[in-house]
């Protein structure tokens, strides 16, 4: 029997569990999670055939009365209202009822899109996530945020929809490129910087092994620690009315970078990596972080092969303009999550433009 660890999440709208392990899905019972008889699988077309067969076999073992699947090309262009509508029309054509479970199988785009569809189809059906990227395992699959992009801006349309469960199986990470693994580490680093110095130390030690064979059991433990931080915050503030905003550390910069690059340059994790460095520099400029602490942030980001410089097409003025459209602004004021020392954060507003522009020059 495979070792499966469990983390229970209790949010105001629902309670659910996140399950962690390496290569455990086939020994797991779907009936443990949901009594839904109708299952609709949404998966990324870029996944290996062997992984898709594994998940379809896992679902069929539960003997659903109806099982259909849809594959789509997971990219920022297809993370849209148009794609959502096509999926919903297929659900209607196939006569899926409210006794349905949508299963997402893929990275963050698949997770966000599937969760959004589940939140609006028939005013809400169950959704379960099986994330296949490290980034999705520690971020998109946890917390109930769903969303699709507007024409020019990321995640402008969405809803809160907590999953029925999340299965985090590190087996699916084994086909990822080093670049996509690095993207996921960015969110684990973020959780450490905002909340957990012990996790930061673990990351610094684990980072020395990078380039060698990954220990997926150790990695599953890191993912669980990281997920626990996010779950703890979501339990206190499900709909981002207060401290959940702390999870946006680095993201104000990251989303602006992605918008300026029309989602065609740095991937989300890379943008978060460089965004955290900009936010750390702003923390330093606001005298909340020492030079030594800033350098430690830079070191851990660099250790995980994340960029520490902005792309050449990301001019500071363009980044600032894109930030002004960010959905996280409040009363037309730019809000930043900054470090108040390592492991602690605060929200600041009314930051002078010259300091913002200076923070982008890293």
Cα–Cα dist 133/109, whole Å: 10
Given a cut of 80, whether residue 207 has pLDDT beyond it is: no
Q: What is the pLDDT of residues 293-336, one digit of tens each?
A: 999 999 999 999 999 999 989 999 999 999 987 755 666 679 99
How is 62-120 classified by DSSP, letter by letter? T--SEEEEEEE--STTTSSHHHHHHHHHHHHHTT--SSEEEEEEESHHHHHHHHHHHHH
**Domains in the chain: boundaries:** 5-176, 236-360
Q: What pLDDT is stored for residue 325 in this prediction?
A: 78
Cα–Cα dist 144/119, whole Å: 10
Q: What is the mean pLDDT of residues 32-61?
A: 95
Global pTM reads: 0.88
Q: What is the pLDDT of residues 325-358, one digit of tens each?
A: 775 566 667 999 999 999 999 999 999 999 999 9
The candidate with the shortest Cα–Cα distance to 318, out of 349, 263, 355, 357, is 357
Name the band, by pLDDT with cuts 50, 70 and 90, for residue 112.
Answer: very high
Cα–Cα dist 45/57, whole Å: 17
Q: What pLDDT is stored for residue 160 in this prediction?
A: 95
Identify the architecture of domain 236-360 in CATH: Up-down Bundle (1.20)
Q: What is the pLDDT of residues 155-189, one digit of tens each?
A: 899 999 999 999 999 999 998 999 999 999 999 99
User: Dihedrals φ, ψ of 356, to 5°?
Assistant: -65, -45
Please tell us whether the domain made up of 5-176 is placed in CATH 2.40.50.140: no
Same topology between domain 5-176 and domain 236-360: no
């Amino acid at each position: 029997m495979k070792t499966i660890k469990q983390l229970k999440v209790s949010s105001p709208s629902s309670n659910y569990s996140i399950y962690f392990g390496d290569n455990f899905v086939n020994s797991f019972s779907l009936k443990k999670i949901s009594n839904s008889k109708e299952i609709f699988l949404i998966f990324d077309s870029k996944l290996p055939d062997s992984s898709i067969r594994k998940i379809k076999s896992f679902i069929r073992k539960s003997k659903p009365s109806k099982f259909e699947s849809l594959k789509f090309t997971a990219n920022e262009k297809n993370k849209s209202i148009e794609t959502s509508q096509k999926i919903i029309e297929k659900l209607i054509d196939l006569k899926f009822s409210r006794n349905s479970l949508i299963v997402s199988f893929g990275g963050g785009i698949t997770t966000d899109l599937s969760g959004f569809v589940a939140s609006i189809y028939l005013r809400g059906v169950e959704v379960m996530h099986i994330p296949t990227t490290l980034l999705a395992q520690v971020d998109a699959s946890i917390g109930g945020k769903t969303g699709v992009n507007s024409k020019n801006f990321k995640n402008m349309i969405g809803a809160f929809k907590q999953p029925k469960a999340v299965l985090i199986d590190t087996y699916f990470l084994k086909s990822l490129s080093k670049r996509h693994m690095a993207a996921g580490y960015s969110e684990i680093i973020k959780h450490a910087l905002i909340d957990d110095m012990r996790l930061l130390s673990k990351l610094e030690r684990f980072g020395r092994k990078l380039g060698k064979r990954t220990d997926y059991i150790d990695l599953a433990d890191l993912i669980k620690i990281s997920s626990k931080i996010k779950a703890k915050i979501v339990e206190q503030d499900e709909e981002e009315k207060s401290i959940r905003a702390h999870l946006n550390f680095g993201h104000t910069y990251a989303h602006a970078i992605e918008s300026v690059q029309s989602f065609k340059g740095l991937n989300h994790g890379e943008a978060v990596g460089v965004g955290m460095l900009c936010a750390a520099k702003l923390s330093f400029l606001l005298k909340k972080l020492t030079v030594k602490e800033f350098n430690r942030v830079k070191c851990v980001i660099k250790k995980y092969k994340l960029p520490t410089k902005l792309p050449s097409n990301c001019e500071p003025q363009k980044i600032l303009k894109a930030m002004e459209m960010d959905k996280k602004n409040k009363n037309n004021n730019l809000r930043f999550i900054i470090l108040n020392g390592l492991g602690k954060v605060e929200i600041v507003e009314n930051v002078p433009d010259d300091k913002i522009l200076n923070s982008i020059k890293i």
